[in-house]
């Protein structure tokens, strides 16, 4: 009975309101970025859109901060990838201006793809070594003036709720640019909307913002160590059922 009621709510309330909010947010972000300050229009409208998504999904949100981050500092945020609501959770509650490294498939979403491109999100292109290098250079170009980048080093959402293997890209960028890595632990979004599922299950979402890891004195040879350290920090704050 609960599942039926949830499906009815999702079809007749969540989906229509979310679609309307998405169209408005994407349009405002595109126009604002074209004629105004991209840092503002690429952050504020999507932030409130993300908060609305969590609210409409009837999710309870908890945020734990180990430290207050510098608003004027650029960071490389690295998070585990449990589900689609990871983006809403981080965008809404991180509290810093961040852009995203996204899959190419998102570029094909009408209006949303154009908005993401306009406000400076970076689409991953793994088609060739040259394309990968171009992607990395685009990420570096966006990391300035207190703008940060959020990357899911697993590459895709988890199939089981457990955290997968990390790829080195985010850590290589942080080391080369000497930017702090900030680990983010996400809990709950796997159960709210699992991969390949269309049914939202309202529940608790938790975002843990860990202390930055400095990379100023690190060398390329230490990237693997940095990656393992970051993964361990994220893993330690996962709920037991996700370990």
Tens of pLDDT, residues 115-124: 999 998 988 8
Domain 2-242 coded CATH 3.30.70: no
Q: Could you count the other beta carbons within 10 Å of the beta carbon of residue 197?
A: 11
Residue 130, pLDDT score: 78
Q: What global pTM score does this model have?
A: 0.93
Closest CA to 194 of 148, 242, 228: 242
Tens of pLDDT, residues 160-185: 999 999 999 999 999 999 999 999 99
CB 17 within 8 A of CB 57: no
Residue 135, pLDDT score: 80
Tens of pLDDT, residues 183-231: 999 999 999 999 989 999 999 999 999 999 999 999 999 999 999 999 9
Do strands 204-209 and 181-187 pair parallel, antiparallel, or not at all (unpaired)? Answer: antiparallel
Of the listed ranges 2-6, 10-14, 181-185, 212-216, the one predicted with least confidence? 2-6
Q: What is the pLDDT averaged over residues 156-160? A: 94
Alpha carbon distance 209, 189 (integer Å): 16
Q: What percent of the chain has pLDDT over 90?
A: 78
How far apart, in Å, do the first and last CA atoms of the chain sit? 31
Confidence of residue 66 (pLDDT cuts 50, 70, 90): very high
Task: Quote the mean pLDDT of the chain.
Answer: 93
Do strands 122-123 and 60-65 pair parallel, antiparallel, or not at all (unpaired)? Answer: unpaired
- List of residues 6+ apart from 243 with CB closer than 8 A: 162, 235
Q: Where are the domains of the chain?
A: 2-242
Q: Is the pLDDT of residue 108 over 90?
A: no
């Amino acid at each position: 009975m609960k599942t039926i009621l949830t499906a009815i709510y999702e079809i007749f309330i969540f989906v229509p309101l979310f679609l309307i909010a998405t169209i408005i947010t994407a349009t405002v972000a595109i126009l604002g970025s074209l004629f105004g300050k991209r840092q503002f229009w690429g952050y504020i409208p999507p932030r409130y859109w993300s908060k609305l998504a969590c609210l409409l999904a009837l999710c309870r949100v908890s945020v734990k901060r180990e430290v207050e981050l510098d608003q004027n500092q650029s960071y490389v945020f690295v998070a585990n990838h449990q589900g689609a609501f990871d983006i809403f959770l981080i965008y809404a509650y991180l509290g810093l201006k961040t852009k995203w490294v996204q899959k190419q498939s998102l570029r094909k979403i009408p209006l949303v793809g154009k908005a993401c491109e306009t406000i400076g999100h970076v689409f991953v292109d793994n088609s060739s070594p040259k394309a990968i290098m171009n992607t990395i250079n685009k990420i570096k170009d966006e990391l300035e003036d207190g703008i940060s980048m959020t990357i899911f080093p697993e590459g895709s959402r988890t199939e089981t709720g457990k955290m997968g293997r990390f790829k080195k890209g985010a850590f290589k960028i942080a080391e080369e640019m000497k930017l702090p890595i900030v680990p983010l632990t996400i809990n709950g979004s796997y159960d709210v909307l699992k991969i390949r599922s269309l049914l939202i299950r309202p529940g608790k979402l938790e975002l843990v913002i860990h202390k930055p890891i400095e990379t100023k004195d690190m060398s390329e040879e230490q990237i693997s160590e940095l990656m393992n350290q970051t993964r361990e920090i994220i893993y330690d704050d996962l709920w037991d059922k996700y370990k």
